Structure 1
Amino acid sequence: MRWASLISVLLLAGAADATVRRVAHAGKHHIEHEHAAKRARAAAAASHHHQVVGRQASAHKFLNANTTRFAVNGTAIPEVDFDVGESYAGLLPISSDPHEESNLFFWFFPSTNPAADKEILIWLNGGPGCSSFEGLLQENGPFLWQYGTYKPVKNPWSWHTLTNIVYVEQPVGTGFSIGKVTITNDDELAAQFMGFWKNFVDTFGMHGYKVYIAGESYAGLYCPYIASAFLDAEDKTYYDMSGLTIYDPVLTWDEVQEPIPAVQFTEYWAGLFPFNDTFRADLKRREKECGYADFMAEYLVYPPKGHIPSRLPGTYENGTTRPECAAIYDDIYEAINLLNPCFDIYQVATTCPLLWDVLGFPGSTAYDPSGSPLIYFDRPDVKAAIHAPANVTWEECSSGNVYVNGTDNSLPPIFLALPHVIDKTRNVIVGHGALDMILLANGTLLALQNMTWGGRTGFSRRPDEPFYVPQSNLSTEATLAAGGAVFGSLVSERGLTYVGVDLSGHMIPQYAPSAAFRHLEYMLGRVDCMNCTVPFTTDVGSTPQSTQPMGKGTAPQGWTRGKQDIVN
């Protein structure tokens, strides 16, 4: 697939028509395929599917008269050959109006961890319009079915082993969620989510629970706006907002997080972008002429020298990006696809072959081999198992608009929503994968250095403290993950922690599950440091940790001029 078509879908900067500045849209894009024959086969199989068989109520903490209709049989989830345990799934309306027709779909997994009493975490994927079941099935849910693998496996890094977690498909029009799309911005999105959340809390009797929110990509907008609205409600019975984690998030205008740092990204990872001298020289010329190199050198410094000017480099006076500057990002993508036809913009170290994905979209290239089964969540037997509407065609990312006219008119979260959440909770983590190119780590750091929280702007220190992932006994051959080493860099000031994660692409809980597990432990207050060798709290009989000096952090984030690693 050519990059120009992906740009038009994701609304990335770099379109040749130099569109007006906007907030970056980022998330896996699902391409619809015809599966009529497959649906027919799956429908026949679904006729033999056993409906939920009630187990003893004593084994179900949240089973009551209000929740019985949502109970999922943990031993009858298609293709999963182990008991997933207690869970609940279904639709709940976005308001208390008895005639409300808009509903959000959820799947809730209670935790067996005693420390999880009276707390719950909400997980959201981005897009906009991408299903949070992507996170469930391939990132941090109780069972995993990664692209290219044979079958679902039990996930030792599941976040439900730490806390109660609910995956919500939102806004309306995403996944199995149904209704009329009416929102034009994320204040309206948050208002709808609050209506859903009140119904969820009432249904499951979770009044007075601490609420944590986590998500990635375009949820970098969703999560701060929802969290900010929870805080503004000043109602701890329903909305006791206590912490936020966002991964590789959309934070600011797309130019800042995409084309401005793009050339330096390819220089740092020169071995993954082995361009010839003439093409690289042309990129460097355009980077200089557009003012991108000077902008990076001036504003990616610690502490910041001041706020980024309202007119960004490479733009006309009306705010639109000059075509020759906008095209830099596009041209990089086109060039690397000639060298690596299996290039994955979400994880740039990926090479051929293409791997089939049960969600229908491995990285940035659609691949549907002949004879492949239905997309997992669109199978009739899976829909029946989780009480999903049979007449809805599930897509990983919606092919329709989830905002009216497809436009989100929200202000980027760094200006109001995110600082508000940091100042009120003093418990916010922003993580970024070093191998992500859909949104660049240095763009995220530029955004944070332009944000004011806790009475000051930006971080005063470079993110160079070591981020340590403990060695553990949790992984299996099917779920191997990093451990026993420094695995990135961090800086923490005034309630905000930035963590750069090595060897991870856009979806950190997928590419670096042990790192994300440590982030969650820290946000929940289970551990009080991420630059120390404290074992995982769920690792009984933990492996002894290294006693060698850790030194500085290792994630290549915060550089300012290509490979040169400048400390300001």
Structure 2
Amino acid sequence: MRWQTFTSGLLLSAAAVAEARRSFQHVGKKDKSTPRDEGSSLAHYLATRQVPAPKFANENTTKFSVNGTGIPDVDFDVGESYAGYLPISDKANDTNELFFWFFPSSTPNNTEKEILLWLNGGPGCSSFEGLLQENGPFSWQYGTLKPVPNPWAWNRLTNVVWVEQPVGTGFSRGEVTARGEEDVAAQFLGFWKNFMTTFALEGYKVYIAGESYAGAYCPYIASAMLDANDTAYYDMSGMIIYDPVLGDDVVQSAATTVPFVDYHRNLMTFNDTFSAYIHGLHDTCGFADYNAKYLTYPPPGPQPPDYAGSVGDECEGLWEVVLNEALSVNPCFDVYQVATTCPLLWDVLGFPGSIGYLPAGGEVYFDREDVKRAIHADVAHTWEECASGDVFVGGRDTSDPSTWRVLPHVIDSTQNVIIGHGTLDMILLPNGTLLSIQNTTWGGQLGFQSPPVEPFFVPFHSLSTADEIFSESDETALGSIAAAGVLGTAHTERGLTYVSVDLSGHMIPQYAPSAGFRHLEFLLGRVDSLSSVAPFSTEPDYPQPPADTLGNGTGPATFDNAASGNGTTDSVAATTDKPSAGATLASSYVAISAVAAASMLMNL
């Protein structure tokens, strides 16, 4: 029997947010409920930081130069930057243009010839979300008064450009002609050559990073750069993709939804009847058996092709059913960060999580005329965080999942790819990403051969010690607190690193900025491992604990402990008994490392 008896309660909450719910567009999902129309402290850093002499000022870049003290509402100098439009080809008068904002490295003595490209997802979501709220030089987070300096800005480590692509995204403009990722990549390479030429970046190493639907964008663009065999413009050297769209939608969502609910059951407090219903679906849909068979190390073999087409509508809809019930018990529930509760925080981009909320008097920052003028954007263009129009012809990306060919190509060619996932992300689930990895062949083998159990360590630093922060009485420091210590699990095989990040939602550089900063250091070769206890390169003398005190990684185990038989001695054993209604299901989310056990047991 389909789930009908208890729908009345959830329909009310779903209806209440139907018009306001944030689009799931970042990951390519369609919302079924709505129709588609340098010192020991930050204070010292801020007091002593230098604004380097311009590095990229020349006759070709003058028209793109942004006044670092003239960005609206930003009451400090953000330094050298350049923004504007460049065409996607070398054709004369090409009106198809992508919009960019380029921030050179803010470290005066950084002479590394490298540049990193950042892309957000969608399809059609602006990379300026990442610039403003994740890893840009100034940060304006949900519910906060104004922008503050971001000590975790990625341009503290290297040159970074945020690009709004494909055509139709953000300020970018022209005719939408892309039918798939191959077209997106070809158009982007045209833009990129123009960008590299304009700023005299020929010969620079190129790194790509992004999140969500950029799990499609980034590998396809990186693979096309490698195929171009032109290191003057496309010296592809490594890639990070966070919480990425990788493959089968059911595998990345419905098949791992119930184990996710069980692990976070104190955040999704469902009654016994509903819990029994979703656990029953997890079993009868074959999801429990699927996880037990394929979330193992090494994997037993390839997963069934087109798995999404082999399950019924009720099974495929399990994720949506859970979301609706979560909104019933927590009307401010956010699939991008499931620990979010009411009240709603306003957001200068208009969407603080799953529910759009811009209070009276609030404005969408990048749609303000003064902001547009400051960064040379078309003042007549309406800026949207995620495009309301299609960025693919017919509204559908026709390309194969990136895990089939292009992602393995990038891993094998660069030996430097990181896939990260926040453990509080439900828009795309962590074990769905791991199942996708276990169905990917690179380096001549299928999947990881050993389970990820190593610690992911984020160095202690000036913004992780509360007594230092509060003794500074520095409001900027208080607005930039970030975690340190063992914050998840990291594992590397054959050039691919997987890292889970505790207490982070979908946007890791936003929710866990110090973690993202460490990932970038690893990508750039500043540190040899994500388990390293070396300090941040920006605070080289800050003391760190001995490596032998870290233990294993924390957070959910990355495999079915009972099925694989390769759990560690530090794990809490998973039970294989079927639970009663409302109890925990034996799953890959039950076993956790001893490091996290004490805090987890508080919620059992």
Taking structure 2 as the reference length, the TM-score comes to 0.84
Query: Displacement of 1:544 after TM fit?
Result: 3.9
Query: Displacement of 1:557 after TM fit?
Result: 4.4
Q: Is 1:451–2:440 an aligned residue pair? A: yes
User: Relative to structure 1, is the Cα distance of residues 116 and 523 closer, same or farther in structure 2, using a 3 angstrom cutoff?
Assistant: farther
Q: Is 1:68–2:62 an aligned residue pair? A: yes
In structure 2, the residue matched to 1:278 is: 273
Query: Displacement of 1:548 after TM fit?
Result: 6.2
In structure 1, the residue matched to 2:453 is: 464
Does the CA-based 8 Å contact 2:22-2:351 persist in structure 1?
no
In structure 2, the residue matched to 1:54 is: none
Query: Displacement of 1:117 after TM fit?
Result: 2.0
Once the two structures are superposed, residues 45-93 of structure 1 have per-residue CA deviations (whole angstroms, 9 ceiling, x without a partner) of xxxxxxxxxxxx9921100100000000000100001000000000000
In structure 2, the residue matched to 1:36 is: none
Q: C-alpha separation between the residues in 2 aligned to 1:377 and 1:265?
A: 35
Match of 1:415 among 401, 404, 411: 404
User: 3-state DSSP class of the match of 1:91?
Assistant: strand
In structure 1, the residue matched to 2:359 is: 369
Does the CA-based 8 Å contact 2:177-2:392 persist in structure 1?
yes
Q: C-alpha separation between the residues in 1 aligned to 2:358 and 2:544?
A: 44
Q: Is 1:219–2:219 an aligned residue pair? A: no
Match of 2:97 among 81, 93, 103: 103
Match of 2:423 among 397, 420, 434: 434
Q: C-alpha separation between the residues in 1 aligned to 2:232 and 2:73?
A: 38
Q: Is 1:175–2:170 an aligned residue pair? A: yes
Does the CA-based 8 Å contact 1:94-1:104 persist in structure 2?
yes
In structure 2, the residue matched to 1:480 is: 481
Q: Is 1:126–2:121 an aligned residue pair? A: yes
In structure 2, the residue matched to 1:81 is: 75
Query: Displacement of 1:327 after TM fit?
Result: 2.2
Q: C-alpha separation between the residues in 2 aligned to 1:514 and 1:58?
A: 24
In structure 1, the residue matched to 2:323 is: 333
Match of 2:314 among 324, 341, 359: 324
Within 5 Å, which residues of 2 pair with 1:488-507?
A: 488-507=488-507
Match of 2:53 among 53, 59, 62: 59
**Which residue identity lines up with residue 550 of structure 1 in the other structure?**
L
| Higher RCO, 1 vs 2 (CA within 8 Å, ≥6 residues apart) | 1
User: Relative to structure 1, is the Cα distance of residues 544 and 295 closer, same or farther in structure 2, using a 3 angstrom cutoff?
Assistant: closer
Q: C-alpha separation between the residues in 2 aligned to 1:400 and 1:70?
A: 27
Within 5 Å, which residues of 2 pair with 1:517-532?
A: 517-532=517-532
Q: C-alpha separation between the residues in 1 aligned to 2:19 and 2:360?
A: 24
Query: Displacement of 1:157 after TM fit?
Result: 0.3
Match of 2:87 among 78, 84, 93: 93
**Which residue identity lines up with residue 340 of structure 1 in the other structure?**
N
Q: C-alpha separation between the residues in 1 aligned to 2:52 and 2:240?
A: 33
Q: C-alpha separation between the residues in 2 aligned to 1:133 and 1:438?
A: 20
Once the two structures are superposed, residues 101-152 of structure 1 have per-residue CA deviations (whole angstroms, 9 ceiling, x without a partner) of 1000000000033345210000000011000000000000000000111110
Query: Displacement of 1:322 after TM fit?
Result: 1.2
Q: C-alpha separation between the residues in 2 aligned to 1:477 and 1:28?
A: 36
User: Relative to structure 1, is the Cα distance of residues 565 and 5 closer, same or farther in structure 2, using a 3 angstrom cutoff?
Assistant: farther
Q: C-alpha separation between the residues in 2 aligned to 1:394 and 1:284?
A: 43
Once the two structures are superposed, residues 445-471 of structure 1 have per-residue CA deviations (whole angstroms, 9 ceiling, x without a partner) of 000000000000100111110000000
Does the CA-based 8 Å contact 1:26-1:439 persist in structure 2?
no
User: 3-state DSSP class of the match of 1:214?
Assistant: strand
User: Relative to structure 1, is the Cα distance of residues 65 and 361 closer, same or farther in structure 2, using a 3 angstrom cutoff?
Assistant: same
Query: Displacement of 1:540 after TM fit?
Result: 4.9
**Which residue identity lines up with residue 468 of structure 1 in the other structure?**
F
Query: Displacement of 1:311 after TM fit?
Result: 4.6
Q: C-alpha separation between the residues in 2 aligned to 1:127 and 1:28?
A: 13
Flag structure 2 segments of 5+ consecutive residues without an equivalent. Answer: 1-13, 35-50, 465-476, 561-585, 594-604
Q: C-alpha separation between the residues in 1 aligned to 2:399 and 2:19?
A: 24
User: 3-state DSSP class of the match of 2:254?
Assistant: coil
Match of 2:288 among 288, 293, 296: 293
Q: Is 1:346–2:336 an aligned residue pair? A: yes
In structure 2, the residue matched to 1:397 is: 386
Q: Is 1:154–2:136 an aligned residue pair? A: no
Count of equivalent residues: 523
Q: C-alpha separation between the residues in 2 aligned to 1:473 and 1:28?
A: 41
Q: C-alpha separation between the residues in 1 aligned to 2:369 and 2:69?
A: 17
User: Relative to structure 1, is the Cα distance of residues 5 and 358 closer, same or farther in structure 2, using a 3 angstrom cutoff?
Assistant: closer
Q: C-alpha separation between the residues in 1 aligned to 2:69 and 2:449?
A: 51
Does the CA-based 8 Å contact 1:377-1:394 persist in structure 2?
yes
Once the two structures are superposed, residues 312-353 of structure 1 have per-residue CA deviations (whole angstroms, 9 ceiling, x without a partner) of 2xx6xxx26412112211110111111101000000000010
User: Relative to structure 1, is the Cα distance of residues 464 and 116 closer, same or farther in structure 2, using a 3 angstrom cutoff?
Assistant: farther
User: 3-state DSSP class of the match of 1:59?
Assistant: coil
User: Relative to structure 1, is the Cα distance of residues 6 and 287 closer, same or farther in structure 2, using a 3 angstrom cutoff?
Assistant: farther
Q: C-alpha separation between the residues in 2 aligned to 1:159 and 1:189?
A: 25
Does the CA-based 8 Å contact 2:130-2:136 persist in structure 1?
yes
**Which residue identity lines up with residue 164 of structure 2 in the other structure?**
E
Q: C-alpha separation between the residues in 1 aligned to 2:463 and 2:533?
A: 16
Query: Displacement of 1:559 after TM fit?
Result: 4.0
Once the two structures are superposed, residues 483-538 of structure 1 have per-residue CA deviations (whole angstroms, 9 ceiling, x without a partner) of 1x100001100000000000000000000000010000000001111112110001
User: 3-state DSSP class of the match of 1:260?
Assistant: helix
Q: C-alpha separation between the residues in 2 aligned to 1:368 and 1:425?
A: 43
In structure 2, the residue matched to 1:306 is: 301
After the TM superposition, list the runs of 4 or more consecutive aligned residues in structure 1 that deviate by more than 6 angstroms. 3-8
Q: C-alpha separation between the residues in 2 aligned to 1:370 and 1:191?
A: 42
Does the CA-based 8 Å contact 1:194-1:230 persist in structure 2?
yes
User: 3-state DSSP class of the match of 1:261?
Assistant: helix
Does the CA-based 8 Å contact 1:486-1:550 persist in structure 2?
yes
Q: C-alpha separation between the residues in 2 aligned to 1:6 and 1:248?
A: 24
Percent identity for Structure 1 against Structure 2: 58
Q: C-alpha separation between the residues in 1 aligned to 2:155 and 2:402?
A: 28
Query: Displacement of 1:547 after TM fit?
Result: 6.3
User: 3-state DSSP class of the match of 1:499?
Assistant: strand
In structure 2, the residue matched to 1:19 is: none
User: Relative to structure 1, is the Cα distance of residues 467 and 566 closer, same or farther in structure 2, using a 3 angstrom cutoff?
Assistant: closer
Q: C-alpha separation between the residues in 2 aligned to 1:219 and 1:265?
A: 23
User: 3-state DSSP class of the match of 2:479?
Assistant: helix
Does the CA-based 8 Å contact 2:20-2:356 persist in structure 1?
no
Query: Displacement of 1:370 after TM fit?
Result: 1.8
Query: Displacement of 1:564 after TM fit?
Result: 3.3
Flag structure 1 segments of 5+ consecutive residues without an equivalent. Answer: 13-23, 32-56
Q: C-alpha separation between the residues in 1 aligned to 2:31 and 2:486?
A: 29
User: 3-state DSSP class of the match of 1:195?
Assistant: helix
Match of 2:132 among 137, 146, 155: 137
Q: C-alpha separation between the residues in 1 aligned to 2:297 and 2:434?
A: 10
Does the CA-based 8 Å contact 1:250-1:439 persist in structure 2?
yes
Query: Displacement of 1:258 after TM fit?
Result: 0.6
Q: C-alpha separation between the residues in 2 aligned to 1:28 and 1:390?
A: 30
Q: C-alpha separation between the residues in 2 aligned to 1:511 and 1:58?
A: 29
Q: C-alpha separation between the residues in 2 aligned to 1:278 and 1:222?
A: 41
Q: C-alpha separation between the residues in 2 aligned to 1:27 and 1:430?
A: 24
Once the two structures are superposed, residues 196-232 of structure 1 have per-residue CA deviations (whole angstroms, 9 ceiling, x without a partner) of 0000011000000000000000000000000000000
Does the CA-based 8 Å contact 1:27-1:128 persist in structure 2?
no
Q: C-alpha separation between the residues in 2 aligned to 1:566 and 1:376?
A: 41
**Which residue identity lines up with residue 531 of structure 1 in the other structure?**
S
**Which residue identity lines up with residue 564 of structure 1 in the other structure?**
V
User: 3-state DSSP class of the match of 2:133?
Assistant: helix
Q: C-alpha separation between the residues in 1 aligned to 2:20 and 2:395?
A: 15
Does the CA-based 8 Å contact 2:21-2:354 persist in structure 1?
no
